[in-house]
């Protein structure tokens, strides 16, 4: 093989840096953002690092250079230690006894942002009604008369008595208990509802962890104020770590069947995801397909999750790429063998 040209030497240097960053990202689930706040930023870009490394493998193979081994080895390590980035096949089975649950950050139903595609016959309310979930966990909820959901049971937790913003859980099944963890955050919280399905009592958590406040198509890490943005995001990751500890302490008090869903504002390569998903089954990994992208950003990022018990059966998982919010709704069909 010929020696590398100047361009290829430069590309290999970049390749080495990207491969190293990806390798470091595999360690992030073991590092709390309270210790290293900015480590969380790397977790956000783990999907991009994966894609770029795959690109380098293809490039060097086409060039007939053994340098493809660098990224290939790192990717193989990730195959065994990291959360799957892409699912080749899904599970489309379904049973009548499945619990169909949806999680959706509706961004206040986008009531204050007109969508040119939206018509009187098609909006977020109609979408949810059309999909007809048994249970829906809503983040960034806004109480409005336009809400025409037909659910016999609900738990709505607003920020204050005067506020119309908050979180909600709607259910076709009776809710026998509900509550809020009352996180000390301006716009984020975790609520729960215990529902009765047949003889089972299932606790449904609806989580909305600290927001990063990154606006699609408006802000990114390459702008003039990127230093302020990075500092703000770093503080958000620290808050997420604290909120995760509050959640885990509360979850320990529940010994029954459980479903955890919501907007984590972080990826499956993060410390908080590893903590929360411990001894849990990720519905996307169990039955999803593709990248599982849930946030309408320029790269495939999965920050909305549905997690449940390890012994639960996930018969279906779907991500709906509709434009009624900056998040995409996700839905799973879950069953238990006993």
- Phi/psi at 207 (nearest 5 deg)? -110, 135
How many other C-beta atoms can be found within 10 angstroms of the C-beta atom of residue 277? 18
Residue 251 has pLDDT above 80, yes or no: yes
Q: Encode pLDDT of 16-25 as tens digits.
A: 999 999 999 9
Which DSSP category does 109 fall into? Answer: G
Q: Which of 31-45, 207-221, 251-265 has the highest average model confidence (pLDDT)?
A: 251-265
Q: Are 288 and 103 in contact (CB under 8 A)?
A: no
- Identify the pLDDT of residue 145: 78
From start to end of 67-188, where are the E strands? 99-105, 135-142, 153-158, 165-171, 175-180
Which DSSP category does 74 fall into? Answer: H
121 pLDDT band, cuts 50/70/90, is: very low
Range name among 87-96, 203-212, 264-273 with the lowest pLDDT average: 87-96
Query: What are the residues whose beta carbons fall under 8 Å from the beta carbon of 84, sequence distance 6 or more?
Result: 285
297 pLDDT band, cuts 50/70/90, is: confident
- Identify the pLDDT of residue 299: 77
Q: Summarize the confidence of residues 265-277 as an average pLDDT.
A: 94
Residue 1 has pLDDT above 60, yes or no: no
Cα(230)–Cα(108) distance, integer angstroms: 26
| Integer angstrom CA distances of residue 91 from 267, 313, 334 | 22, 11, 12
User: Does the domain made of 99-336 have the CATH classification 3.60.10.10?
Assistant: yes
Q: Strands 280-282, 257-263: parallel, antiparallel or unpaired by DSSP? A: unpaired
Q: Encode pLDDT of 126-178 as tens digits.
A: 888 889 999 999 999 988 877 778 899 999 999 888 888 999 999 999 999 99
**What's the whole-model pTM score?**
0.88
Chain-centre distance for alpha carbon 142: 21
Range name among 43-57, 79-93, 184-198 with the lowest pLDDT average: 79-93
- Identify the pLDDT of residue 227: 67
């Amino acid at each position: 093989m010929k020696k590398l040209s100047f361009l290829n030497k430069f590309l290999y240097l970049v390749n080495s840096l990207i491969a190293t960053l990806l390798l470091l990202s595999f360690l992030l689930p073991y590092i709390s953002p309270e210790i290293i706040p900015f480590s969380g930023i790397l977790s956000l870009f783990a999907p991009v690092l994966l894609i770029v490394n795959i690109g380098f493998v293809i490039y060097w193979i086409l060039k007939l250079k053994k340098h493809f081994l660098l990224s290939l080895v790192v990717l193989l390590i990730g195959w065994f230690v990291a959360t799957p980035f892409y699912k080749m096949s899904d599970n489309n089975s379904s049973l009548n006894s499945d619990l169909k649950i949806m999680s959706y950050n509706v961004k206040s139903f986008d009531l204050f942002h007109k969508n040119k595609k939206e018509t009187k016959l098609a909006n977020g309310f109609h979408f949810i009604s059309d999909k007809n979930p048994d249970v829906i966990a809503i983040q960034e909820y806004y109480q409005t008369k336009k809400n025409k959901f037909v659910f016999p049971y609900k738990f709505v937790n607003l920020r204050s008595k005067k506020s119309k913003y908050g979180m909600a859980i709607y259910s076709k099944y009776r809710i026998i208990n509900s509550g809020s963890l009352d996180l000390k955050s301006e716009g984020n919280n975790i609520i729960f509802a215990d529902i009765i399905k047949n003889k089972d009592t299932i606790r449904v958590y609806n989580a909305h962890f600290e927001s990063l406040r990154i606006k699609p198509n408006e802000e990114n890490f390459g702008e003039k104020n990127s230093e302020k943005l990075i500092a703000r995001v770093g503080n958000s990751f620290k808050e997420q770590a604290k909120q995760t500890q509050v959640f885990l302490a509360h979850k320990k008090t529940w010994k029954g069947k459980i479903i955890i869903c919501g907007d984590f504002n972080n990826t499956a390569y993060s410390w908080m995801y590893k903590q929360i998903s411990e001894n849990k089954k990720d519905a996307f990994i169990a039955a999803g397909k593709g990248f599982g992208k849930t946030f309408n950003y320029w790269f495939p990022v999965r920050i909305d999750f549905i997690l449940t018990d390890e012994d639960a059966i996930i018969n279906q998982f779907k991500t709906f790429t509709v434009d009624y919010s900056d998040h995409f709704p996700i839905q799973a069909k879950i069953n238990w063998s006993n």
